C-alpha cells in the first residue's frame, strides 16, 4: 500500500512538472496569436487584390476619391455597416456582397467583440504598404513584436512609423507591448 502511494505521489509530481513546462495558457494564447496573424495576412491579401482589381482601396468611395489613407482603423462592426468616415461598407466590399475576396463567415468572425481586434493602417502616400496589426497575447509573440519594433519604434518601416510609437507600442500597466504588424 505504501509503495502504491509513493508511485501515485511520483506520478503527481511528474504531472505537475510536465504541466508547468507546457504552460497550457501560453499555448492557448500562442494559438490565438497564430490565428490573428493568419487572419491579418488574409485581410491584407484581400485588400491588395481589391486594389489590384478596382484601382482603389475598399475604404475609398471610388477611383476618384483622393483620400487613399486609412489611419489606424479598428476592424469592427463599423466596417460592415455604413461608416461615412470609411466611405462605405469596407468588409462588405471584400466579402460576397462585393468582390468575394473574403468569406462572409470570416468577416463576421473578425468583428466579434471577443476577437483580438485587428487594426488597418495605410499612410496613403505612393508606395506605402497597407498594414494589419494586432496586439499579441502570448509571451513569444510579444517578444517578437517588441524586438521588431526596436528602440523608439525605429524597427518599423518608415511608412508605419508615422503612426507614432504611442499607438504602436502602448504601455499596458507596467509593460510595453508592441503590436504585431504585417506585412
Between CA 166 and CA 90, with CA 59 as vertex, the angle to 5 degrees is 105
Q: In what order do the strands lie in the sheet with 118-122?
A: 70-74, 118-122, 131-134, 180-182
137-154 tens-digit pLDDT: 999 999 999 888 887 788
Domain boundaries, position 74: 2-182
* Residue 70 contacts residue 59 (beta carbons within 8 Å): yes
Q: Evaluate whether 124 touches 67 at the Cβ level (below 8 Å).
A: yes
- Cell representation of residue 170: 502602448
Neighbouring CB atoms inside 10 A of 75's CB total 22
Q: 74 in helix, strand or coil?
A: strand
Q: How many domains does the chain have?
A: 1
Say if CB 111 and CB 91 are below 8 A apart.
yes
**pLDDT bucket at 87, cuts 50 / 70 / 90:** very low
What band does 98 get if pLDDT is binned at 50, 70 and 90?
low
Amino acid at each position: 500500500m505504501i509503495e502504491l502511494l509513493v508511485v501515485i505521489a511520483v506520478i503527481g509530481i511528474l504531472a505537475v512538472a510536465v504541466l508547468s513546462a507546457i504552460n497550457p495558457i501560453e499555448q492557448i494564447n500562442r494559438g490565438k496569436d497564430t490565428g490573428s496573424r493568419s487572419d491579418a495576412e488574409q485581410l491584407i491579401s484581400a485588400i491588395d487584390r481589391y486594389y489590384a482589381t478596382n484601382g482603389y482601396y475598399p475604404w475609398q468611395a471610388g477611383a476618384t476619391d483622393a483620400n487613399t489613407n486609412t489611419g489606424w482603423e479598428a476592424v469592427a462592426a463599423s466596417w460592415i455597416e455604413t461608416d461615412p468616415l470609411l466611405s462605405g461598407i469596407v468588409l462588405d466590399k471584400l466579402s460576397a456582397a462585393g468582390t468575394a475576396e473574403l468569406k462572409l463567415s470570416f468577416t463576421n468572425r473578425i468583428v466579434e467583440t471577443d476577437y483580438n481586434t485587428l487594426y488597418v493602417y495605410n499612410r496613403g502616400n505612393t508606395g506605402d504598404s497597407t498594414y494589419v496589426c494586432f496586439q499579441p497575447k502570448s509571451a513569444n509573440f510579444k517578444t517578437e513584436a517588441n524586438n521588431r519594433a526596436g528602440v523608439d519604434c525605429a524597427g518599423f518601416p518608415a511608412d508605419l512609423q508615422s503612426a507614432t510609437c504611442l499607438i504602436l507600442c502602448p504601455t499596458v500597466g507596467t509593460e510595453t507591448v508592441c503590436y504585431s504588424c504585417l506585412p
